[in-house]
Amino acid sequence: MRDLLRPMLPMIVVLAIPIVPFLLFGQERVERQLQDWRDHPPPPLYVSAAVIGLLASDIFLPIPSSAVSTLAGWQLGAVGGSLAAWVGMSLGAVIGFGLARWLGQAAVAWLTRTGDLERARRLTDRFGPALLILGRGVPVLAEATVLLLGMHGLPWRKFLPPVLLANLVLAIAYAVFGEIAGRHQWLPLALGVSIALPVLMVAAFKLIANDRTPSPTK
């Protein structure tokens, strides 16, 4: 339960964002502020910098990257949102991998939990470096896999291509989703879906990781 609660916390926060302002300030004021945001959005450069900064820090903080990428598509369009999300996610992966290669176990112990690392180890034993692609959109597992393979000295030439490709696919998918949601005024629903889907993936990969765990002998 605790393993599922950790990735669900960002979902709870994101889903509460549209509710709390209505409770505090009332519907009319919130709708007026949203309309002002639509009429006078922040400059694309500022939005891009915020998206890149948030996603690059995902290795250190529980940032809901799927929701941030969806918002990037809503604000910047499919092309701009994809580019910003791809750069941010890739920077975060490179930073984590580099730290793990440089500092080894000390960095890994600082950036992830023992249980998450052990789950990533079991899945890596099964899938190998392909887990960099298969688990890239799964919260916690994606970061733990990057750190684990960095700690074990996976060469950069074997790390960068699959991670950059997987990040590009995810960035495009979420940004296009965000642009479509914004066009049809589905943004709250889109944010809920973009957060709930990775949480379901966490549960699925947790089952995969544990299905071959030896049962204790009596």
Residue 106 has pLDDT above 90, yes or no: no
Residue 218 lies in a domain: no
CA atoms of 73 and 178, how far apart (whole Å): 5
- Total tally of structural domains belonging to the chain: 1
Question: Which has the closest alpha carbon to 57: 143, 133, 170?
Answer: 143
pTM of the model: 0.76
pLDDT at 165: 95
Q: How confident is the model at residue 208, as a pLDDT?
A: 74
Residue 216 covered by a domain: no
Per residue in 128-149, pLDDT (tens digit) is: 888 889 888 888 888 889 998 9
Answer whether residue 215 is part of any domain: no
pLDDT band at residue 175 using 50, 70 and 90 as cut-offs:
very high
2: pLDDT confidence band, cut at 50, 70 and 90?
A: very low
CA nearest to 109, candidates 147, 69, 163, 62: 147
What proportion of the chain, given as a percentage, has pLDDT over 90? Answer: 32
User: What is the distance between the alpha carbons of residues 154 and 87, in angstroms, rounded to a whole number?
Assistant: 21
CA 9 to chain CA centroid, Å, is 13
- Domain assignment present for 179: yes
Tell whether 21 is covered by a domain. Answer: yes
Residues spanned by the domain of 141: 2-210
pLDDT top residue among 218 and 70: 70
Residue 59: inside a domain, yes or no? yes
Q: How far is CA 125 from CA 13, 103, 112, 165, 217, in A?
A: 34, 22, 19, 22, 23
